[in-house]
A and B are shown apart, each in its own frame.
Chain A
Amino acid sequence: MRNSIENTTVIHNAVAAADAEVHAILQAMESRNSGLALNRRGFLKLTGFAGGGLALAFFLGNEEALAAAAPAPEFVPNAFLRIATDGTVTILSKSPEIGQGIKTAFPMIIAEELDANWDRVKVEQAPINPTVYGRQSAGGSRSIPSNWMQLRRAGATARAMLVSAAAAEWSVPASECTTEKGFVKHSSGKRLGYGELAAKAAKLPVPDEKTLTLKDRKDFKILGTRVTGVDNIKVVTGQPLFGIDQVIPNMQYAVFEKCPAVGGKVARANLDEIKQLPGVTNAFIVEGTGKPTEVMPGVAILAKSTWAAFSAKKKLKIEWDESTASKDSWSKFVAQAQELGKQAGAETLKSNGDFDKAIADSRVVEAFYTYPFVSHAPLEPQNTTASYRDGAVELWSPTQTPDGALRLVAGVLGIAPEKVTINQTRVGGGFGRRLMNDYMCEAALISKQAGVPVKLQWTREDDMQHDFYRVGGFHAFKGGIDQAGKLVAWQDHFITFTADGQRPVSGGDMSAEEFPIPQLANTRLTQTKLPLQIPCGPWRAPRSNAIAYAVQSFLAELSAAAKRDHLEFLLEVMGEPRGPNAEGTLNPARAAAVIKLAAEKAGWGKELGKGRGLGLAFHFSHAGHFAEVADVTVDENKKITINKVVVAGDIGPVVNMSGAENQVQGSVIDGFSTMLGLEVSIENGRIQQTNFDKYPLLRIPHAPKVEVHFIQSDFSPTGVGEPALPPVAPAICNAIFAATGNRVRSLPLKLDGYHV
Chain B
Amino acid sequence: MAGEPCIVVQDLWYSYGGEVTALQGIDLEIEDGDYVAVIGQNGSGKTTLVKHFNGLLKPTRGRVLVRGLSDREGSPLLRDTADLTAGQLAQTVGYVFQNPDHQIFCATTRQELAFGPRNLDLPEAEVKRRVEEALARFDLEEVADKPPAVLGYGLRRKIGVAAVYAMRPRIFILDEPTTGLDWRSTMELMELIGEMHCHGHTIILVTHDMKLVAEFSQKSLVLRDGQVLVYDDTRNVFEHSEILRDTQIEPPQITALAKRMVPYGMPGDVLSVEEFYTAYCGLGER
**Is A bound to B?**
no
